[in-house]
Amino acid sequence: MIRYFHRLGEATLSLLESIGSFTIFTVQTIRWIFARPFDVRALLYQLQEVGVKSIPVGTISSFFIGMVMALQLGVSMEKIIQGVSSFMGGGIALALTRELAPVLTAVLLAGRVGSSMAAEVGTMKVTEQIDALSTLATNPVHYLSVPRFLAAVISLPLITVMAIVLGIIGGSIISYVRLDIPFNQYFETARSFLKPEDLISGVTKTFFFGAEIALISCFTGFRAQGGAEGVGQATIQAVVYSFMMIIISDYFITYIYQLFGF
């Protein structure tokens, strides 16, 4: 029994230490955003790596999600209530805008970008390149974390908007081919269902998702140790923790938005 409580205490202390270290790391990253010198070249490079190269992943996936939604929901709903599939455009547009496109895009980027960030920073950590930066009077958080943080926060909302548009278009194609819903009727119902607050609610979530992906990935990379195995563990932790935080924070952000009428 004493051994059990001892292990429980160690696990609790380790959890609290990790939370405290992550909080300090987050504060340092945000503080260094406003510090000079500002490395524009590093930011542009990360925007290309995080944003531009992630566009095909986010948009193509959302396009087929819209097609699958129209294929699954439209046929099933039409069997239950005749003519209800005529509102398919509004249903798909609303679901994609408020939840599916933001969360799906964030999860895909967490897998693609988060793993890359953790592996890069973790490799620099275990090869002592981060220590070399400190000896050269360069703050590692400023040099490594800030450009990745800004690139994720800027890129994810833009990719989400593209994903919403492509998902709605994908749904329109299947609605026309399988359900004989004219394009003008599909997009008219989508326009009537969607409100500005729906777009605001969906897109603004991704600012938080992007920040979570960058901060968690860089943080796990900074804590990597033990050579190649440690880098692998840091990469796995970055992806898993990012997935979990995206889903958990999505609930709380949605709940807060509903309190304010979004």
Closest CA to 213 of 135, 106, 130: 106
Instruction: Give the integer Cα–Cα distance in Å for 115 and 134.
Output: 24
> Token digits for 94?
């609303």
Q: What percent of the chain has pLDDT over 70?
A: 94
pTM of the model: 0.88
The tens digit of pLDDT for each residue in 179-202 reads 788 888 888 888 888 888 888 888
Instruction: Give the integer Cα–Cα distance in Å for 117 and 241.
Output: 14
The tens digit of pLDDT for each residue in 99-151 reads 889 999 999 999 889 888 898 888 888 888 887 877 777 788 888 889 999 99
Three-state DSSP state, 10: helix
Burial class (CB in 10 A: 0-12, 13-18, 19+), 168: buried
Tokens 């997009």 map to which residue? 187
Assess whether pLDDT exceeds 90 at residue 19: no
